[in-house]
Chains A and B, each alone.
Chain A
Amino acid sequence: MSLEKFISQAVSSWMSDDGPDSDIVLSSRIRFARNLDEYNFPTLFTNGEAEAVIGTIMERVSNTPIQNVGQLEMIKMDDIPPLQKRVLVEKHIISPNLAENSIHGACLLSENEEISIMINEEDHIRIQCLFPGFQLSEALKAANEIDDWLEEHVNYAFDEKFGYLTSCPTNVGTGLRASVMMHLPGLVLTQQMNRIVPAINQLGLVVRGIYGEGSEALGNIFQISNQITLGKSEEDIVEDLKSVVSQIISQERSAREALAKTSNIQLEDRVFRSYGTLANSRIIETKEAARCLSDLRLGIDMGYIKNISKSILNELMILTQPGFLQQYAGGPLRPDERDIRRAALIRERLKMESKEESGG
């Protein structure tokens, strides 16, 4: 398969489309956890109950389409090979838990991959809306529409006092997890994250890296999400997150301005060195690739580099993960082979940019 075709098939709209403030907020996500009241939770349910849950939801989906969403495709975990599951995880469409541990797990996916409904994960139903850029309210609206549509025919487990009942007590109430993925190279380079993270935590929000392990955030990409799900309305949870995110956006912007003012040439040097590495290396590890991609994206945002699309960071952070590399290679790869493939894929992807430039 050609790289162009592979990428066009692999890329979801949240990775490629522009959204508001997408120079800093890469994507916005809303997740609702829901359960059906007539079956045990996935913690304890039987195979038969798991199948019944899928059946109930399938019936709902095949009978009446949701407005503004179009066709939803059902992907059953039992029917697809492990590599394909891994790719879905790397695209943030399903959770590792659904891929690896679920009984009769499944996912309903919209064509543009903005909407996915996980079935039989930790809860019977997990509605997820993933939008490009800073669009939390829009994503909340979309998730509410799907939730209402499902609820017309499905009995949710709901308690007057505790709200929507979930397998885990940390999700009870609204069942809402709202999150944004932010690219914050300015705050990292100016060493402000150590100060900002505890401040964000104080406000009841959780900050973590999405790529990489432990506290490191590969590619300077951070996820910020609400921690508590009970006692506040969905709108308030989203508004509180939005106001913090807006503050972080403006701090990141000032950090970038300060960098441009105080160390313009050093920053430009860093950006172009990273560009050189990405365009020329023959072996590249995840960590180095992530660092260079972050630099490149910063260079694009700050105008040092022209004619390369901004979506390159999103795309390549996803496409250079092990699952995707192996899917592109058409088979399993050892880690050292992946590093070679990764370098090749990045080089080719950058060549596509210059082709587009000379062609158009």
Chain B
Amino acid sequence: MICQECNQRPATLHFTNFSNGEKTEMHLCERCAQEKGEMFMMNNGPGFAINSLLAGLLNMEPAFPEQKKEAYQAEQVLQCPQCSMTFPQFVKVGRFGCATCYDAFREQLTPIIRRLHSGNFIHNGKIPKRIGGDLHLRKTIDDLKLSLKNLILQEEFEKAAETRDQIRELERKLTAGQEGGE
């Protein structure tokens, strides 16, 4: 069966929706389903519930068969200590119960997040100024360490020494901040 949205890719996801006693069916490829999910999220369209769409996406993990097995085993017990949402509940509703859920489901979540964000799973944007605190500092240190590596590879030892001192200085700041702050 071909995707009814793009008429190009094969339809791998099939949705049935009952509203007002009427049955509607939708056959979509993965990409179109993801876009539809997005659209319904923004629109809150009454037709196909985003939850079932997203649940379809979350459940469908042919690209990660091993994780899936793991996730399945973990599903039996995995529960957020803060809001009590379980991992299967999350998969079903497609929404987290609280911020702690991300921590509680972290391992199972990473492949899902990658899938939803074109392979990305690490935030690379804004860091809140106040609570971000030493995160800014640590990011800078990481960046410097990377350039230190490169400098050594390029045999720019004088510059490398400078960078190393810079890193030490920042790391001192970081420890001082942690001791003073907590």
Contacts and interface: CB of A to CB of B under 8 A. Distances in A.
A234 B112 CA distance: 22
Interface bracket on B? 35 or more
Given A161-B123, A230-B117, A41 B99 contact: yes
A39 B96 CA distance: 12
Given A96-B43, A231-B122, A233-B124, A173 B96 contact: no
Among the interface residues A44, A165, A172, A234, which one has the most CB atoms of the partner chain B within 10 A?
Answer: A44
Interface in B117-166: 117-132, 135
A196 interface: no
A41 B94 CA distance: 13
Interface in B60-119: 82-83, 85, 93-99, 102-103, 109, 112-113, 116-119
Interface in A184-230: 198, 201, 204, 206, 208, 215, 225, 227-230
Interface stretch (A1-9, A105-113, A150-158): A150-158
Interface bracket on A? 35 or more
A198 B98 CA distance: 36
Interface in A117-157: 122, 144, 147-148, 151-152, 155-157
* Chain A contact residues: helix, strand, loop or mixed: loop
B65 to A, nearest CB: 21
A122 B40 CA distance: 13
Contact of A231 (B5, B42, B120, B128): B120
Contacts of B132: 158
Interface in A77-129: 95-97, 100-101, 122
B99 A157 contact: yes
Contact of B44 (A95, A148, A231, A237): A95
A173 B98 contact: no
A174 B123 contact: yes
Contacts of A100: 44
A69 interface: no
Contacts of B124: 173, 230-233
Interface of B: 5-6, 8, 31, 34-35, 37-39, 41-44, 54, 82-83, 85, 93-99, 102-103, 109, 112-113, 116-132, 135
9 contacts: A40-B82, A159-B123, A161-B121, A164-B126, A168-B95, A169-B94, A173-B117, A198-B8, A232-B124
